[in-house]
Structure 1
């Protein structure tokens, strides 16, 4: 007797909606039911070392995975919600195997050609979404560490672009750089009050 094949279900999540700098990332993951990965969870609940370990496991054992981005310019043009949805669409489109159903963390879904469901808190409830959360978070953190080399002095290695006290102090001291999201309040306020001196940092 033949057993029915399981649906190819992709979990999708983003990372980086809250920061003042850097792109937003998204990942899509189709897990292999025959090869479960232990410990998948909301990436925010995991240590950096645990996320790195799980990233390798996901990349090695998932049926398919992909990470995609929406740029700072797209965030400023579209707003962060729509840029996040765009990054999710790009992640799914980049999968080497296309899913038959998509589960998205949160309360909003991008438009996809297959059945899609938004699940609030899905990164802690659905392993495939948790896996996507981990890939998106690790990829974005890695990029922000690299960005410190292009824009030294802001402390991107530590805060990854989030509005910490240290980041806000550096922003006031140095002015915004090209990595900053100009549509976000603290950055926009500085740009509106600034003349000349700070503007040179707006190119890499």
Structure 2
């Protein structure tokens, strides 16, 4: 049995993600009959592995049967947002004009890789992710356009827009995160209000049940 500490990378980059080194590995081989004596700790570890595999086998595969688009853009800004996307993307299930889709507040759009003429070009487009080729550019209603936002890495960034009437500069946040292999892109306000309650029930009314907490933070 060999043990080796797991090395964690501080880079949160899904594109260049590397599988961490092994922590524990057991190798057993013999040409003849082999009698193995395991310690209590070893038996417990094998029992836990068997239980984990058994539970995994019992789970249904419904979540794997439903295909999800590689990219999902969500509008949570509170305003209608016009989203311009690069030529590498193709929206699914919605009408688009000149690489532009309109998203009302709360709406989402699924985007796939645009199919190319050959399989080699398609594979190259999916593997060679370049910031200048994979981006969106949101424009909130009544405001100027934000800068181009690359979608090749997870994370979040703040982008400025200007109100066309008042000339006031405002900001929006584009948050990119991964869900079961798909990238979700959420366009939202820098301010978030979160409400947590440990009491039962809820719903309706404007009063906060006790005990509860309410926080407002800027991200």
Q: Give the number of the structure whose residues are more often helix, by fraction.
A: 1
Q: Tell me: higher relative CO, structure 1 or 2? Use CA pairs within 8 A at least 6 residues apart.
A: 1
Q: Give the number of the structure whose residues are more often strand, by fraction.
A: 2
TM-score (norm 1): 0.25
Q: Which of 1 and 2 has greater Rg?
A: 2
TM-score (norm 2): 0.24
